[in-house]
Amino acid sequence: MRTHEQETPQIISVATSTTHFRVLAALNELHLRYRDLRDGDIATYIPELAKANPDWFGICVVTADGQVYEIGDAERQFTIQSVSKPFIYGLALEDHGRDAVLERVGVEPTGDAFNSIIKLDATNRPHNPCVNAGAIATTSLIKGDDPTTRLNRILDMFGRYFGRQVQVDMSVFMSERTTGNRNRAIAYLMLNFGMIGSNVDQILDLYFQQCSILGNCRDLAMMAATLANNGVNPITGVRAVDAAYLRDILTVMYTCGMYDYAGQWGYSVGLPAKSGVSGSIIAVVPNQLGIAVYSPRLDERGNTVRGIRVCQDLSSEFGMHMFDATLTSPGAWASSDAPPTMLDADASAKGQLAAGAQMSNPTEANGHARSTSEATA
């Protein structure tokens, strides 16, 4: 007997249009292009992350109108780690407003590693909400009378972005907590400068818990698509964040989301983004779509190697760079009438891509490309 849940029709059409097939073919091509790239190493600072299979590789794109395109390990769960940081920043802004948050956390890129210990600015603020110091300070601002209320508010917020209930991976959380002495040092330094309250252990627990939230590529693409869609989850229609703060969130993602790679990222990809040490990355094309890639091998800065390559190619081949004035039709991804170069079967300079785009059915080609169009609840 079928359960009520199974009977709820979530998927209302499955890859029927030419556009869907062509977009899937393009993602399929990207997946094929990079699945043999084995540069980088997985994070091993806690045993739980070291258990990841380095070859896992998922890509998901969700458009601002709720089309979902995914390939590979897009539904494999991992902990969201630093991808959580700009979203917590959004919640802190909602709780206190821009001026009060700016007193505690700046918006300046550091050019340093994400877990840099000593860098506070002239007013003793951590530089931005994307490095650990700034993220811990941001987390300390989340309102709630007790730790459980604060955690629940965070989980509720991520639930609005994911479009489903979220949970914390307890073993990752416990490991982060046991081994997190560097973050503890950062927190105590900020306590010393009066930037966070004296409940350091509670603040750190909350920070470790937000890092240990479980999600998959599709969830992360949904988060990015929600930011792209003016703060409203494109599937559920639920507002996840006050539209007034989107610009703050997207700006710090653009300038600081990739740590000491942020400048090169902005130059080559031109999109607000955030990476996490378990191997995920999200990128936002405002008003259009969200991208998420999961692949655990990291470069020396802690950013996913394949994730960066996929985003670079998507940006250049689909014309997504926000400041590319030569683009006449930056919205081409989601429209069927003006497909960008990557989908152009006649673009001889992109021979390989064209070959991918010509495939009649990418789902048959490798058995795991999927496209769905889901109803707004």
Alpha-carbon distance of 223 to 319, in angstroms, equals 22
Q: How many CA atoms lie within 13 A of 151 on its CB side?
A: 19
Q: Which residues contact 34 (CB under 8 A, 6 or more apart)?
A: 57, 295, 306, 309, 310
Q: Is 116 among the catalytic positions?
A: no
Q: Is the distance from CB of 52 to CB of 102 less than 8 angstroms?
A: no
From the candidates 62, 82, 274, 280, give the one annotated as an active-site residue.
82
Does position 133 interact with ligand GLN (CB under 6 A)? The reply is no
Residues 305-334 touching ligand GLN, rule: CB under 6 A, are: none
Amino acid letter, residue 116: S
Q: Running DSSP on this structure, what letter comes out for residue 345?
A: T
Instruction: Find the binder of ligand GLN among 67, 116, 132, 255 (CB under 6 A).
Output: 132
Token code pair at residue 153: 């508010």
List for the chain the helix, strand, coil content (%; round to 5).
Answer: 45, 15, 40
Comparing CB distances to ligand GLN, the nearer of 117 and 347 is: 117
Q: Is 207 among the catalytic positions?
A: yes
Token code pair at residue 366: 């490798």
**Cβ at position 226, least distance to ligand GLN in Å:** 20
From the candidates 34, 69, 89, 207, give the one annotated as an active-site residue.
207
Q: Is 277 among the catalytic positions?
A: yes
Instruction: Find the binder of ligand GLN among 56, 114, 254, 261 (CB under 6 A).
Output: 114
Residues 172-191 touching ligand GLN, rule: CB under 6 A, are: 176, 183
Token code pair at residue 95: 């709780």
**Cβ at position 2, least distance to ligand GLN in Å:** 40
Residues 31-70 touching ligand GLN, rule: CB under 6 A, are: none
Q: One symbol per residue from 241 to 280: x for binding ligand GLN (CB under 6 A), - otherwise; what is it?
A: -----------------------------------xx---
Q: Which residue has the tokens 């709820």?
A: 8
From the candidates 62, 107, 277, 310, give the one annotated as an active-site residue.
277
**Cβ at position 198, least distance to ligand GLN in Å:** 21
Instruction: Find the binder of ligand GLN among 28, 81, 255, 363 (CB under 6 A).
Output: 81
From the candidates 23, 69, 83, 85, give the one annotated as an active-site residue.
85
Token code pair at residue 223: 């988060």
Strand order in the sheet with 11-14: 11-14, 370-374, 67-72, 58-63, 289-294, 280-285, 273-276
The SS3 assignment for 283 reads: strand
Instruction: Give the residue numbers annotated as catalytic, written as ranges.
Output: 82, 85, 207, 259, 277
Which residues make up the interface to ligand GLN (CB under 6 A)? Answer: 81-82, 114-115, 132, 176, 183, 211, 276-277, 302
